[in-house]
Amino acid sequence: MSLLLLPTNLQQCPSPSTFPSPSSPLLSPSPSPSPSTVVVPRRRCLRLVTSCVSTVPTSVSNGSAPASVVVVEREQIRLGLPSKGRMAADAIDLLKDCQLFVKQVNPRQYVAQIPQLPNTEVWLQRPKDIVRKLLSGDLDLGIVGLDTLSEYGQENEDLIIVHEALNFGDCHLSIAIPNYGIFENINSLKELAQMPQWSEERPLRLATGFTYLGPKFMKENGIKHVTFSTADGALEAAPAMGIADAILDLVSSGTTLKENNLKEIEGGVVLESQAALVASRRALTQRKGALNTVHEILERLEAHLKADGQFTVVANMRGNSAEEVAERVLSQPSLSGLQGPTISPVYCTKDGKVSVDYYAIVICVPKKALYDSVKQLRAVGGSGVLVSPLTYIFDEDTPRWGQLLRNLGI
């Protein structure tokens, strides 16, 4: 008789005493084979393996974490990133700006490394699969849009948002209706719900890919006569083709809606979304090294995102004292900066003695206020103005780190 070896990842099955008895349907007896046949032992072994694997849930269909999912022992922390599209490029660029470089040996591979985090693997996945694998325990961390997290996470308590605003992937999930025909004068969700056309026999037909958030939103707003359907390709074409009355889809600029004669309505925004860093609560509390990895990633992210769009402005200014210069600077509304100006003496030698004729002014201002700040600084006597972009602003403490620890009960 030949032996069938089990894969190593399936060897931790229940002990033989826990398997069903030979009289059970799972191991129903087969016809007696000929002496040269080994079908029965092989079939029995495969069925035993199937029984073992099926005890571990592979998906989550409601908002509660599966009780039987456990953290599998492994040394590497797994970070899920989008594998394709603009979100993928923006996520990798953000990590690069934080001095975390995603290295792929081969662009066709779906596993990469971050040398700066030697205990971390990067898994490139579809956004919805990132959420699913966070729930199943295959991933520990992930970067996804809040819309994807809400749709596929379904408010599962095991999913915890570490950083909710990574400054890319901005969009919102919104209802859009035609701007012609019976919808021409409809401009709000309330007006849409009160249209006499909708009934139990003829409900409002809404085309969407968000089959969890859509019904949930309609129920919360008391809209009863509505059915949901999905459409292949661009949803924007569904009303014009007559297969839907309205759509529920992600909107960025709104240009595509306008080009397809669709309009958003007041009260029809389901949620605002952008990219977020998400983690598994189980992984953070049970997997060795996961919390430390999150802390380092979070510190780098917060320092970079706080500095993003900020500029350092340096200038020299004549004055009799630092206090006098400070009064002149603070008299201008755009010169207080993030924490008020830093003023320090500029030493020089005069008649063989060290003296102070100038003071150096350092302020940090946002990009939108940069030109006004430079003009005001020069108006109060600033000269030799230098401007440079900021890369990082490290605070004494990382605000979201303390919030994360509180959420974890640590």
Domain boundaries, the chain: 8-53, 77-169+275-306, 171-273, 310-389
Helix (H, G, I), strand (E, B) or coil at 194: coil
Residue 13 confidence class, pLDDT cut points 50, 70, 90:
very low
**Is the model's pLDDT at 52 over the cut of 50?**
no
Dig out the tokens for 398 from the structure: 């990382």
Which amino acid makes up residue 195? M
pLDDT at 374 over 60: yes
Q: What percent of the chain has pLDDT over 90?
A: 63
Query: Counting beta carbons within 10 angstroms of the beta carbon of residue 401, is it exposed (0 to 12), middle (13 to 18) or buried (19 or more)?
Result: middle
pLDDT at 68: 52
pLDDT at 159: 97
- 14 vs 55: CA distance, rounded Å: 10
Average pLDDT, the chain: 84
> CA–CA separation, 51 vs 253, rounded Å?
50
Long-range contacts formed by 227-231: CB under 8 A, 24+ apart: 227/203, 229/205, 231/207
More confident residue, 197 or 50: 197
Identify the pLDDT of residue 348.
85
**Mean pLDDT along residues 122-138:** 97
Phi, psi (deg, nearest 5) at residue 204: -65, 125
Each residue's pLDDT tens digit, 78-93: 999 999 999 999 999 9
Give the pLDDT confidence score for residue 284 in this predicted structure. 96
Give the mean model confidence (pLDDT) for residues 15-30.
41
Task: Output the CA angle 94-162-273, nearest 5 degrees.
Answer: 70
pLDDT of residue 403 exceeding 70, the answer is yes
Specify the CATH architecture of the domain 77-169+275-306: 3-Layer(aba) Sandwich (3.40)
Nearest 10 degrees: Cα torsion 130, 131, 135, 140: 50
Q: What is the mean pLDDT of residues 247-251?
A: 96
The larger pLDDT score, comparing residue 30 to residue 373, is at: 373
Strand order in the sheet with 310-318: 342-350, 353-366, 310-318, 382-389
pLDDT(24) > 90: no
Q: Is the pLDDT at 101 greater than 60, yes or no?
A: yes
d(CA 338, CA 396): 15
Rounded Cα distance between 290 and 148, Å, is 23
Nearest to 249 by CA among 241, 237, 259, 240: 237
What's the pLDDT band for 120 if we cut at 50, 70, 90?
very high
pLDDT at residue 48 tops 90: no
pLDDT for the residue 71: 64
What CA–CA distance (Å, rounded) separates 230 from 208? 5
Q: What is the mean pLDDT of residues 152-161?
A: 96
Q: Across the strands, what pairs with 125?
A: 82
Provide the 10 A C-beta neighbour count for residue 122.
Answer: 23
264 φ, ψ to 5°? -80, 160
Instruction: Give the pLDDT band (50/70/90) at residue 352.
Output: confident
Q: Which fold has domain 171-273?
A: D-Maltodextrin-Binding Protein; domain 2 (3.40.190)
* pLDDT, average across residues 367-372: 89
* Residue type present at position 199: S
Query: Which CATH code of 3.40.50.1950, 1.10.10.10, 3.30.70.120, 3.30.465.10 fits the domain covering 310-389?
Result: 3.30.70.120
**Full strand arrangement of the beta sheet holding 77-82:** 111-113, 120-125, 77-82, 141-145, 275-280, 159-163
CB-based contact 207:229 (threshold 8 Å): yes
pLDDT of residue 75: 86
Confidence check: pLDDT of 57 > 60 = no
Q: Of 139 and 44, which is predicted with more confidence?
A: 139
Average pLDDT on 354-366 reads 88
Would the CATH topology of 77-169+275-306 be identical to that of 171-273? yes
Average pLDDT of the segment spanning 104-128: 93
183: CB partners within 8 A, 6+ apart: 177, 192, 245, 246
pLDDT digits (tens, 9 = 90+) for 183-220: 999 999 999 999 999 999 999 999 999 999 999 999 99
Quote the tokens at residue 231.
Answer: 């459409």
